[in-house]
Every structure is written in structure tokens, then in C-alpha cells.
């Protein structure tokens, strides 16, 4: 068996596992029995958000299945490795074909089409990183053609503290809807800024990692332990106003250009589920080796995660014509320059405390090729080279009514393909100032 030879995998990753739930065995589902991502949901008659696991086209209510007592996802996220993996094994066992628990579990299923989904946990603090060297180089070149990467880039994973209260979940239909933000911009050639709706609204293709176990303030997390502090991952869109950003961000970094809205997909795919899809983490020849606190044998052997990522656009006109939309980009998280273990080790090296539910944005995940750009800023070269969509519409940046859909999945020979679901958001006309 290939499964047995891959580090961190166990019986729950066996590609031969089948569920008594037919929709979980559909080759096209993002949520086969090998995935088991966590989220929060409620039915129309519920007061409280419940903890569920996506399976096929259903949600398994973990409390109703008598697997947990809690309604608090953050408590579940704080579980130590052994009870956490025991819970995963119990869910997997009960959902397997022939399980004696089938009847009990069937009574705990709710169709995904009938539930309301919430953000998957209480998000505390939110940090956005900048881990794609391809994104950093392409964007840096627009501002500093001869010197696109600043000297710190290859030595530390840089980031900024963002705003968690405006992060919303992707829902059915139009997903997370938000109004086009307004702000202050300095038009090219002008000497006085103006205020008004952004004319350069963009998306950023990112992953969001959720912190599981807290550390005590003053106690850094060594890189060897870092992944014990990460629960899982979802798709994340860090919407950005590209005209507000360059005028406001010097010298302190992003502010109102980003804090008006960010969108998360509803299901946290756990680090346990990702075990089969790990890759060696290598730097290009000639690049400096990370400092010792950012380096470990396991980070070199399997620090990267092979997640295929896609960005799709569906304009209002496409929606009216019942067109599914166009794919704008495909890239892979394994091309990032910093691993999630390095982000945790660096974030805490000064003693900063992380808490359950803290969110780390990966930064825009552009790949090495120009067509793998994770934002319109890169794809259209700052709006200078607009793209023509399949129905003839042209975009430099986003128009009102545009829906952006992020998708992600993992596949590897010898394992079942698993998906992250979808992160969908739609920009609406802004308020008049």
C-alpha cells in the first residue's frame, strides 16, 4: 500500500474506504470520507451554531452523532494530537460502509443545501503574510523595476496584522456580498488626493490557516512543534482596493485598502486530512538557507503542501446568460517560498502569543508563470493590459456584480482526491458618499 509509506497517514486516508452515504463516493465530490473537514452550521429552527463535518452533499452533526458534547468549535480545535486523531478515526469509522453506527449517524445528517453556514470558528487575530515570491517579485517590479524584492524577503516571512471583524463566510448563491469600498486616492499626476469609490478593486487568491493550540506569551513555538499549533486550512480571498493601497500604505502597510471585506470558505480541511499531500520544501540554488529557528528536517522533507488552486470569475452578464464563468488562474500552494511551520515559528519568535482560531493568510499565491497570477494587479499589469473574457467583456479590475470564486483541491497517485470546496464573493455597488 502506498498509503502506509507516506508520513502522517493512517487508516482514515486509505483510498479504498467507501461510505454508506452514496454522495460521499462520487468521484467529483470535494468531501469524500478521506477528507472530513470541520465547519459550523445551523438549520432554520436552530438557535445555536452546531459543529459539523462535510461528507458528500451532507453535513454530519457531530453532537447529534454522539461524537462530541460541545457547540464550541474553538474547544475542538484545541484538542491535543491524540484525541484529535481519535475523533477523526471515530467519524471515519462511523461513516464507513458496513459500520454498525450507520443508523445513529444517518439521523445526524442534514443536507448541505438546507443549512446556513457560519465562519468555521471564532476568529481572534488575523495576520496576512506574503509567502509567494512570484507575487512579491511581480508586484515589487511594478514599483521598483530594478529592485523588486526588498532585502528581508528571503530571510523572514513578512506580514501585517489585519482586521478579523470584516472577515465573512462564503454562502450559497452570490457568496459573501459586500459594497464597493470608497477611500482616499492620489490620481496619477495629481498633487491633491480625492475621495470616492475605488476604481481598482481586486481579489487575492490565498489560503487561510487556523491556529489550534495556543502558546503562552513569551514562549516561542519551535519550528519542530509548529504544525501541532495549526488545525487546518480554508480558501481565503483578501479583497484589495489597488488605488487606495499605494497612497496609504507607506510607511506602515495595508490599512483601509484591505479591511473592508475578506472572504473565507466554510470548511476547515484539517492538517490531518492533508497528510498524503505533503511535499519536500526546497529553495532555489543560490538562495540563503533559512536561519536555524526557521529550519528543520521535517520542514525540508515535507513542509510544503500540494494544493491546486483556481480563481474563477462570473460577471453579472454571465449570470443572466446562465454561464458558469471563466477560469482566470490556476496555481499551486507548493510554490510558496515560506511554509506554514515557518510562519508559526516566525510569528512567535518574539514571544507573541497565538490563540485558537487565529487566522493566518498565506498572501497571494501566484505561481512562477505569468498566467498563474493570483490577482488582477498581476494578470492585467495594474490594469494596463485588460483581459477579455469568453463572452467578450473586458476587465482591468472588478466591476459591480462580478463574482469571484476560489477553488482548491489535492490529488496524488495512490490517494483519494479531496477538495476545499469553494470561496465565493460578489461586489455590489458602493454607497454614495
Q: Which stretch binds Mn ion (CB under 5 A): 10-18, 122-130, 278-286, 405-413?
A: 122-130
d(C-alpha 165, C-alpha 107), whole Å: 35
Phi, psi of 110 (to 5 degrees): -135, 135
Q: Does 238 bind Mn ion (CB under 5 A)?
A: yes
CB of 364 to Mn ion, least distance (A): 6
HEC-encoded secondary structure of 319-344: HHCCCCCEEEEEEEHHHCCCCHHHHH
Which of 14, 204, 378, 402 binds Mn ion (CB under 5 A)? It is 204
Closest CA to 390 of 327, 322, 347: 327
Cα pseudo-dihedral 373, 378, 384, 386, rounded to 10: 30
Residue 43 cell numbers, joined: 438549520
CB of 198 to Mn ion, least distance (A): 16
Q: Are 120 and 147 in contact (CB under 8 A)?
A: no
The strand pair at 194-197 and 205-211 is best described as: unpaired
Instruction: Work out whether 335 is an interface residue with Mn ion (CB under 5 A).
Output: no
Task: Name the residue nearer to Mn ion (CB basis): 95 or 379.
Answer: 379
Residue in 14, 61, 128, 248 binding Mn ion, rule: CB under 5 A: 128
Query: Which residue stretch of 59-67, 151-159, 230-238, 350-358 sits at the interface with Mn ion (rule: CB under 5 A)?
Result: 230-238
Residue 347 known to be catalytic: no
Q: What is the DSSP letter of 397?
A: S
Instruction: Determine if the peptide bond prior to 251 is cis (ω within 30°).
Output: yes
| Residue 326 interacting with Mn ion (CB under 5 A) | no
Annotated catalytic residue, options 13, 134, 135, 229: 135
With CB atoms as reference, the residue minimizing the distance to Mn ion is 238
Residues near Mn ion (CB under 5 A), total: 3
Per CB under 5 A, the segment of 8-16, 213-221, 236-244, 341-349 that binds Mn ion is 236-244
Please report which residue ranges of 198-280 form alpha helices under DSSP H. 244-248
Q: State the nearest-atom distance from the C-beta of 232 to Mn ion, in Å.
A: 19
Site string for Mn ion, 378-397 (x = CB under 5 A): --------------------
Catalytic positions, written as ranges: 135
By the criterion CB under 5 A, which residues form the site for Mn ion?
128, 204, 238
Amino acid at each position: 500500500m502506498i498509503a502506509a509509506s507516506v508520513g502522517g497517514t493512517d487508516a482514515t486516508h486509505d483510498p479504498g474506504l467507501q461510505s454508506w452515504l452514496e454522495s460521499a463516493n462520487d468521484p467529483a465530490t470535494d468531501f469524500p470520507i478521506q477528507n472530513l473537514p470541520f465547519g459550523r452550521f445551523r438549520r432554520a429552527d436552530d438557535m445555536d451554531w452546531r459543529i459539523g463535518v462535510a461528507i458528500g452533499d451532507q453535513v454530519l452533526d457531530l453532537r447529534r452523532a454522539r461524537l462530541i458534547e460541545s457547540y464550541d468549535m474553538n474547544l475542538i480545535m484545541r484538542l491535543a494530537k491524540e484525541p484529535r486523531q481519535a475523533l477523526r478515526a471515530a467519524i471515519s469509522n462511523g461513516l464507513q460502509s458496513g459500520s454498525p453506527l450507520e443508523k445513529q449517524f444517518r439521523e445526524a445528517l442534514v443536507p448541505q443545501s438546507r443549512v446556513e453556514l457560519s465562519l468555521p470558528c471564532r476568529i481572534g487575530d488575523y495576520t496576512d503574510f506574503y509567502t509567494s515570491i512570484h507575487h512579491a517579485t511581480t508586484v515589487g517590479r511594478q514599483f521598483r523595476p530594478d529592485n523588486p524584492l526588498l532585502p528581508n524577503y528571503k530571510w523572514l516571512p513578512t506580514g501585517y496584522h489585519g482586521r478579523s471583524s470584516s472577515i465573512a463566510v462564503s454562502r450559497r448563491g452570490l457568496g459573501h456580498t459586500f459594497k464597493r469600498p470608497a477611500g482616499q486616492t492620489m490620481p496619477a499626476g495629481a498633487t491633491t488626493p480625492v475621495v470616492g469609490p475605488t476604481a481598482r478593486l481586486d481579489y487575492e487568491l490565498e489560503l487561510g490557516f487556523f491556529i489550534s493550540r495556543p502558546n503562552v506569551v513569551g514562549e516561542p513555538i519551535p519550528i519542530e512543534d509548529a504544525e501541532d499549533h495549526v488545525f487546518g486550512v480554508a480558501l481565503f480571498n483578501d479583497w484589495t482596493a489597488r488605488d487606495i493601497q499605494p497612497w496609504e500604505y507607506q510607511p506602515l502597510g495595508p490599512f483601509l485598502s484591505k479591511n473592508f471585506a475578506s472572504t473565507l470558505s466554510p470548511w476547515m480541511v484539517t492538517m490531518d486530512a492533508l497528510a498524503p499531500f505533503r511535499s519536500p520544501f526546497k529553495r532555489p540554488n543560490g538562495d540563503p538557507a533559512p536561519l536555524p529557528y526557521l529550519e528543520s528536517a521535517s520542514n525540508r522533507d515535507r513542509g510544503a503542501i500540494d494544493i491546486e488552486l483556481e480563481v474563477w470569475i462570473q460577471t453579472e452578464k454571465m449570470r443572466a446568460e446562465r454561464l458558469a464563468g471563466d477560469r482566470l488562474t490556476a496555481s499551486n500552494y507548493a510554490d510558496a517560498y515560506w511554509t506554514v511551520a515557518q510562519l508559526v515559528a516566525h510569528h512567535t519568535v518574539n514571544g507573541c502569543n497565538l490563540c485558537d482560531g487565529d487566522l493566518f493568510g498565506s498572501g497571494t499565491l501566484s505561481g512562477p508563470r505569468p498566467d498563474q497570477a493570483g490577482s488582477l494587479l498581476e494578470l492585467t499589469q495594474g490594469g494596463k493590459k485588460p483581459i477579455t473574457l469568453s463572452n467578450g467583456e473586458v476587465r482591468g479590475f472588478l466591476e459591480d456584480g462580478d463574482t469571484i470564486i476560489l477553488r482548491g483541491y489535492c490529488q496524488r497517485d495512490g490517494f483519494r482526491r479531496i477538495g476545499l470546496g469553494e470561496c465565493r464573493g460578489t461586489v455590489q455597488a458602493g454607497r454614495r458618499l
